[in-house]
Amino acid sequence: MTLREHTVEVDPTRCNGCVACTLACPTRAMRVRGDVARSDPHLCIDCGSCVDICPKGAARAVTSSPADLKRFKHSVAIPSMTLYGQFGPEVHPGQVLRALRKVGFDSVFDMSWMCEMLSRATDSYLSEAKPPWPKVSVTCPAIVRLVQIRYPELLPHLVSIETARELAAKLVRRRLEPRHRGLVEVFALHDLIGRGQVAADQVEQALTPGLLEHALDEPAL
């Protein structure tokens, strides 16, 4: 089985084997061997619990620099609603979109209207859905992976509707690929610690923390 790329890594020079991450990990992917924490790639769901709990900063997000975006013919950023909320009330979504262009994305796509449309579709789905209940949202990819790995008996409970980021990615590709001969990479960005998913491709990428904050400080924004 081909392993998915993960967005969390452990710096062995910082790890002191305190086992805090092993206690926080919901899938038991983190294990301490030889006084150093290691992650089992078959069990890791990229939830970031180890990053949040590590007192030494040994568990960290795998990041990419703006230069890495140059590997793609045309890169498109689709920021999630949670990303907008990371900067405080004084920063508007339009500023975040412009900052993403500033750090190297060729295009940006605001999927807020897609979220509204999907919310109505989900309400309609739930009003007609059959058991088993309760239904489990598929919005968070980490939750979906948690169900797949730890609670497979809950798989029939997952809402069978594509997420807003997946639908937005398909729409973006349909619009842009004819113009760029199919060479389009779509990045769905979730939050500031760098966990981000390339929607529809199930490949993961992350931005170096601080890049957006720096771009938002530019006078032109």
> Are 109 and 80 contacting, i.e. CB atoms less than 8 angstroms apart?
no
Q: What is the pLDDT of residue 17?
A: 96
Task: Measure the CA angle with vertex 118, ends 46 and 86; round to 5°.
Answer: 45
First to last CA, the chain: 45
Each domain of the chain, given as residue ranges in start order, spans 8-61, 63-221
Whether the pLDDT of residue 215 is over 50: the answer is yes
Whether the pLDDT of residue 186 is over 60: the answer is yes
Q: Classify domain 8-61 by CATH architecture.
A: 2-Layer Sandwich (3.30)
Q: What is the pLDDT of residue 68?
A: 76
For residue 108, what pLDDT band results from cuts at 50, 70 and 90?
very high
Whether the pLDDT of residue 66 is over 90: the answer is no
For residue 214, what pLDDT band results from cuts at 50, 70 and 90?
low
| pLDDT > 90 fraction of the chain, expressed in percent and rounded | 50
For residue 206, what pLDDT band results from cuts at 50, 70 and 90?
very low
Instruction: Please give the sequence-ordered ranges of beta strands (E in DSSP) within the chain, or none if there are none.
Output: 8-10, 30-33, 36-39, 59-61, 74-79, 107-108, 184-189, 196-198, 203-205
Q: What is the pLDDT of residue 204?
A: 33
Q: How much is the average pLDDT of 73-90? A: 85
Task: Measure the CA angle with vertex 140, ends 111 and 6; round to 5°.
Answer: 105
Q: What is the pLDDT of residue 125?
A: 95
Please provide the average confidence, as pLDDT, over all residues in the chain. 83
Q: pTM value?
A: 0.79
| pLDDT > 70 fraction of the chain, expressed in percent and rounded | 83
Q: Select the highest-mean-pLDDT range: 3-12, 60-69, 161-170, 192-201.
A: 161-170
CA neighbor of 207 nearest in space, from 217, 188, 192, 186: 192
Q: Select the highest-mean-pLDDT range: 69-73, 129-133, 179-183, 200-204.
A: 129-133
Amino acid of residue 77: A
Cis peptide before 156 (omega within 30 of 0): no
Assign 159 to helix, strand or coil. coil
